[in-house]
């Protein structure tokens, strides 16, 4: 399996449709597949044909408010193989709460958190039971699980048919899963600010909605062409306060050992990894602040910086360039505290560090 996301959707998929009586009609759909071993032995062309069949959803309407206007929201979470053979999911309750909030923000019927958790667990369990699960590899321990594989879980909404601007009153909620590796490629951890705007006050920046990811994708690809790993957004109004990375929350450890991350205004996504890092920092005795921070303060006062998210985990930033001025952090290497957050979170994910917070949820 390659790095990052793949389109190797696992066979069991969850689908729920909101009905007129206020209930959700739920099914677990088993898509076309062979055994995992048989699929792994297929030629590349044959494998692509099987995956194309599995990734086809003819029961969902092509022309609707999601495909036409980006009207929808989604979540991303992971299940991690454990040394004892178990699979455990990181904080699915928090993802369920956020998806419920996102759907309310889009004026959709909200999907209940308990149904969300059950659906996620069942999708992972059913795919595991037919062999679609990464086996724990002791070699991952050598680099503190940086090379570790996991299962990426993507719950998302999809609307009823529609061609005009309208709300979704009868959405689907779909849960798919896929194997996933490391998100960021090693060797480049440089970041650069962008003039583009991710979100405006009074908009949908606080919702994990589809349309929010168009500009970040464009900006990230532009930054990568210029030799950077990440792009950083500033606020829309004054163009001086740091808000987010291209698809991640961002942190700054200042020279006085205060860990700062932008506060959750309505332009910033409430990240679950962000919330977890703040908890780890406080328990370690670090002073934490959720507040506005200017790019000038970042450049002059930061000694460590990193981004956080489900896909990125904790990924250090070696430098930030703004208007031609570059500030370097920790000698362009991962800093002590960034390394602590990375190792601790990865350790909790894979069962190597005690989960004293109760963040990991079993599948059975």
Q: What is the tens place of the pLDDT at every residue in 113-163?
A: 999 999 999 999 999 999 999 999 999 999 989 889 999 999 999 999 999
Q: What is the tens place of the pLDDT at every residue in 177-202?
A: 999 986 656 678 999 999 999 999 99
Q: In this predicted structure, what is the pLDDT of residue 184? A: 55
| C-beta separation of 136 from 82 below 8 A | yes
Q: Which of 313, 293, 292, 290 is nearest to 302 (CA)?
A: 293
Domains identified in the chain and CATH numbers: 12-180 (3.30.470.10), 190-350 (3.20.10.10)
Sheet holding 287-290, edge to edge: 287-290, 258-261, 249-254, 302-309, 313-316
CA distance linking residue 101 with residue 203, whole number of Å: 15
- Say how many residues make up the chain: 364
* Residue 172 CB contacts under 8 Å (≥ 6 apart), including other chains: 15, 16, 17, 18, 60, 157, 158, 159
Which of 91-95, 177-181, 207-211, 238-242 is predicted with the least confidence, judged by mean pLDDT? 177-181
- At residue 1 the predicted structure's pLDDT band, cuts being 50, 70 and 90, is very low
Percent of the chain with pLDDT over 70: 97
Give strand ranges (E) for the chain. 12-18, 24-30, 77-81, 87-90, 150-158, 172-180, 190-193, 230-234, 242-245, 249-254, 258-261, 287-290, 302-309, 313-316, 319-322, 325-328, 360-362
Q: In this predicted structure, what is the pLDDT of residue 363? A: 95
- Catalytic residues, which ones? 208
């Amino acid at each position: 399996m390659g790095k990052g996301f793949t389109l190797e959707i696992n066979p069991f998929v969850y689908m729920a449709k909101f009905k007129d009586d206020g209930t959700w009609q739920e099914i677990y759909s088993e898509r076309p597949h062979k055994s995992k071993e048989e699929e792994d032995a297929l030629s590349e062309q044959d494998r692509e044909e099987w995956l194309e069949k599995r990734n086809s959803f003819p029961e969902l309407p092509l022309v609707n408010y999601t495909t036409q206007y980006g009207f929808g929201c989604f979540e991303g979470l992971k299940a991690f193989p454990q040394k004892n053979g178990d699979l455990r999911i990181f904080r699915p309750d928090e993802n369920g709460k956020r998806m419920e909030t996102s759907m309310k923000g889009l004026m959709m019927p909200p999907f209940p958190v308990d149904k969300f958790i059950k659906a996620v667990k069942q999708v992972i369990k059913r795919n595991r039971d037919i062999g679609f699960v990464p086996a724990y590899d002791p070699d991952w321990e050598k680099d503190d699980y940086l090379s570790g594989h996991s299962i990426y879980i993507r719950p998302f909404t999809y609307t009823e048919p529609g061609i005009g601007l309208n709300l979704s009153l009868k959405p689907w909620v779909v849960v798919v899963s896929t194997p996933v590796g490391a998100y960021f490629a090693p060797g480049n951890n440089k970041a650069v600010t962008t003039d583009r705007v991710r979100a405006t006050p009074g908009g949908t920046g606080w919702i994990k909605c589809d349309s929010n990811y168009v500009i970040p994708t464009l900006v990230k690809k532009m930054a990568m062409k210029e030799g950077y790993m990440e792009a950083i957004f500033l606020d829309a109004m004054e163009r001086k306060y740091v808000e987010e990375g291209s698809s991640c929350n961002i942190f700054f450890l200042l020279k006085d050992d205060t860990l700062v991350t932008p506060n959750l205004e309505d332009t910033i996504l409430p990240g679950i990894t962000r919330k977890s890092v703040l908890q780890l920092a406080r328990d370690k005795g670090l002073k934490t602040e959720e507040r506005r921070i200017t790019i000038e303060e970042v450049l002059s006062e930061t000694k460590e910086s990193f981004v956080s998210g489900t896909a990125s985990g904790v990924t250090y930033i070696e430098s930030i360039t703004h208007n031609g001025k570059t500030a370097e952090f920790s000698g362009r290497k991962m800093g002590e505290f960034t390394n602590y957050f990375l190792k601790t979170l990865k350790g909790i994910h894979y069962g190597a560090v005690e989960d004293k917070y109760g963040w990991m949820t079993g599948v059975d």
